[in-house]
Amino acid sequence: MTQAYEINFDGLVGPTHNYAGLSYGNVASMGNSSAVSNPREAVKQGLQKMYALHKLGIPQAVLPPLLRPDLATLRRLGFTGTDAQVLNKVAKQAPVLLACVSSASSMWTANACTMSPSADSLDGKVHFTAANLANRFHRSIEGPQTAKLLRAIFADESHFAHHDPLPLGDHFGDEGAANHTRLCREYGEPGVQIFVYGKYAFDPTQPAPQKFPARQTREASEAIARLHQLHADKVVFVQQNPAVIDQGVFHNDVIAVGNRNVLFFHEQAFLDKDTALADIRRAYGDDELHFIEVSSKAMPLEDAVRSYLFNSQLVSLPTGGMALIVPGECEANPRVWAYLQELLTRQTPIKAVHVFDVKQSMRNGGGPACLRQRIVLTESQRSTVSAKVWMSDEAFSALNAWADRHYRESLSAADLADPQLFIESEQAVSALQLLLTLRYR
């Protein structure tokens, strides 16, 4: 077995972080529409979480934000003139469109891509497929830009294989790692890849949600498994319960999380739970595998969604065992917090719970797990990454100073039309490129 490490690549919150309520089906996003945001606090909350994981001995890196507002998209849609004129026109004629191209949603890097480590692929390479995020316009414009960013960071073609986003449209809707989990004994060993989908796109007779959209299709998940050259006997396709999608569980990572030999999930997570678990166990083999199932009696679905309990990060500690990285909303919910305290008394690999304040992200519908993309690399693969994306004491200090220089303390919907905001965002992105020695535009 080749030694490999799972590295959390967290998205840096962008300077245009705002609450526009653009994500239909995401209860928190919809509920906080038009509130005033604090971009500086948002990026610093994310940095605090990254740094704390780094200090715990968990490999940690950063992914930079995409430049917003996305004026190139506005020009493709017929808005002309100087940058200031374009922003003025769209603010008057299509303010919702302005909110879409200003969204800082690339911070949720669980949606950036699906990644498969070299131990799982037939060609022995690390594979990336940037998500197309086809269901929401403001996110669908991210795919090509994210693909370019990933190619810039993981550039060595002898180690890394990159795939463009799947074709746009409902049939191949792909939301990245938010609907994907990998289980394994050790990170460097072949693992089981679990693709969770919301519906069959080409078969309307199959179960599907009725109120909110199913953002991941079975067909998209199958395409990614083919592109990544995965072993068929180590891939499991599981349908998410349509009823929970209709209650605000827009991604699987809002109701389940896995790491190594542990799958932590709510009993309502999957449409056919018993078959799903049997298929996962069969693919995993005879090694020890822990299913930690949370009943509706112990945790009503409403509490799970509001607290984002399952949008926690489940990480392996260097000292042994695992820890849940949970948002402060879990501690504030008596039922959830009582459950977590009881969980720690059981004989499971989960030995600790760490609480973090990520309220700025949570109000837009993204918890700790939304903010990170898990990437498994061997030491030789990691050594090919020349960009200075790794978290350290020095990086933490430099990134906080960068945020202090370039981020506003408050941002409202009206501010999105301010041409100065675009100038500030460009300056922030350019300064970050220099800091990370990375070009990705």
Q: Tell me whether residue 175 is one of the annotated catalytic residues.
A: yes
User: Which pLDDT score, from 0 to 100, does residue 20 have?
Assistant: 82
Let me know: does 393 contact 203? Beta carbons within 8 Å. no
Residues of the chain by 3-state class (helix, strand, coil), percent to 5: 40, 20, 40
- C-alpha 341/C-alpha 352 separation (Å) is 9
pLDDT band at 37 (very low <50, low <70, confident <90, very high): very high
**The model's pTM:** 0.96
With a pLDDT cut of 70, the percent of the chain lying above it is 97
Q: How far apart are CA 434 and CA 34, in angstroms?
A: 33
pLDDT in tens, 310-326: 999 999 999 999 999 99
| Cβ(337)–Cβ(307) below 8 Å | no
Residue 432's pLDDT band, with cuts at 50, 70 and 90, is very high
Strand blocks (E) in 321-429: 322-327, 350-356, 372-378
| Nearest in space to 44 (alpha carbons), one of 416, 407, 424 | 407
Helix 83-93 to helix 419-436 angle (10° resolution) is: 120
349-362 pLDDT, tens per residue?
999 999 999 999 99
Per-residue pLDDT of 50-90, as tens digits, reads 999 999 999 999 999 999 999 999 999 999 999 999 999 99
Clarify whether 113 is annotated catalytic. Answer: no
**Rounded-to-integer distance, Cα 156 and Cα 143, Å:** 21
Rounded CA-CA distance 412/416 in Å is 7
Between CA 48 and CA 400 the distance in angstroms is 9
**Per-residue pLDDT at 283:** 98
Q: How confident is the model at residue 400 (pLDDT cuts 50, 70, 90)?
A: very high
Could you tell me whether strands 4-11 and 372-378 are parallel, antiparallel, or unpaired per DSSP bridges?
Answer: antiparallel
Token reading at 155: 């550039």
* Chain mean pLDDT for the chain: 95
- Residue whose entry in the numeric block shows the structure tokens 């370039």: 406
- Which helix (H) or strand (E) segment holds residue 263: the answer is strand 262-266
- The pLDDT, as a whole number, for residue 367 is 95
Residue appearing with tokens 């007779």: 205
Q: What is the C-alpha separation between 439 and 160, in angstroms, rounded?
A: 18
How would you label 183-192 residue by residue, b for 16+ Cβ within 10 Å and e otherwise?
A: bbbebbebbb
Query: Is 23's pLDDT higher than 60?
Result: no
Catalytic residue, chosen from 127, 162, 180, 251, is 251
CA-closest candidate to residue 142, choices 180, 172, 175: 175
Collapsing DSSP states into helix, strand and coil, what is residue 121? strand
The pairing of beta strand 192-197 with beta strand 290-294: unpaired
pLDDT of residue 116: 98
- Flag whether pLDDT at 27 surpasses 70: no
Q: Which domains does the chain have, with CATH numbers?
A: 4-68+103-436 (3.75.10.20)
Cβ atoms of 198 and 90 within 8 Å: the answer is no
Active-site residue (options: 100, 113, 184, 370):
370
Nearest to 99 by CA among 433, 434, 415: 415
Distances (CA, A) of 405 to 40, 65, 428: 10, 16, 8
Predicted local distance difference test score (pLDDT) of residue 166: 98
The amino acid present at 276, given as its one-letter code, is A
Residue 435: both structure tokens together: 């800091």
Q: What is the per-residue pLDDT for 25? A: 54
Place of tokens 């790794």: 390
pLDDT at 24: 56
Q: What is the pLDDT of residues 239-281, one digit of tens each?
A: 999 999 999 999 999 999 999 999 999 999 999 999 999 999 9
**Torsion from C-alpha of 212, 213, 218, 222, nearest 10 degrees:** -130
User: Which residue of the set 6, 175, 219, 424 is catalytic?
Assistant: 175
Q: What is the pLDDT of residues 378-387, one digit of tens each?
A: 999 999 999 9
Distance (Å, whole) CA 129 – CA 119: 17
Q: Is the pLDDT of residue 131 over 90?
A: yes
Catalytic site includes residue 370:
yes
